[in-house]
Amino acid sequence: MNSPRTKFYRDKVNGKLMGVCAGIADYTGVNSLWVRLGFIGLNFMTGFAVLLPYFIIGLLADKKPAQLYSDRQEQQFWQGVRQSPTRTAREVRGRLREIDRRLAEVETFYVSSNPRLSAEIERLR
């Protein structure tokens, strides 16, 4: 996974303080409200020991590029890749098989009704 879309970034645009919780939400695909509530709860349970790692991550993590995703669908796809690369690869292979099957159906339809095109395709094979 060498893509910049699979890397963790601070999300300053949707963030409240340093963008760490919003970055975690973007990285995992979880709503940022739940990440923030979990962070607050974790702080109370650990006696605010989570604040230091929060600020360290806030200082060290890169800021999210402005045009990382072109649309919401692409964002959801990359969140799926980060969560389960194997499942995502399987889904992409399935989609490509479906496209290939549909393309074969279209090719069969046009070739069967056009003998000249059929002869040209056979010549190219």
Q: For tokens 């046009």, name the residue.
A: 110
Q: In this predicted model, what pLDDT tens digit does every residue of 68-91 receive, in sequence order?
A: 777 888 878 887 777 777 877 888
Q: How far apart are CA 122 and CA 120, in angstroms?
A: 5
* pLDDT-wise least confident of 5-9, 68-72, 93-97, 109-113: 109-113
- Angle of CA points 51, 57, 62, to nearest 5°: 150
Q: In this predicted model, what pLDDT tens digit does every residue of 32-41 receive, in sequence order?
A: 999 999 999 9
Contacts of 79 (CB under 8 A, 6+ apart): 26, 27, 28, 29
pLDDT grade for 124, boundaries at 50, 70 and 90 = confident
What tokens appear for 42 in the block? 């974790």
Every domain of the chain and the residues it spans? 1-83, 84-125
What tokens appear for 70 in the block? 């072109």
Asked whether the predicted pLDDT for residue 28 surpasses 80, the reply is: yes
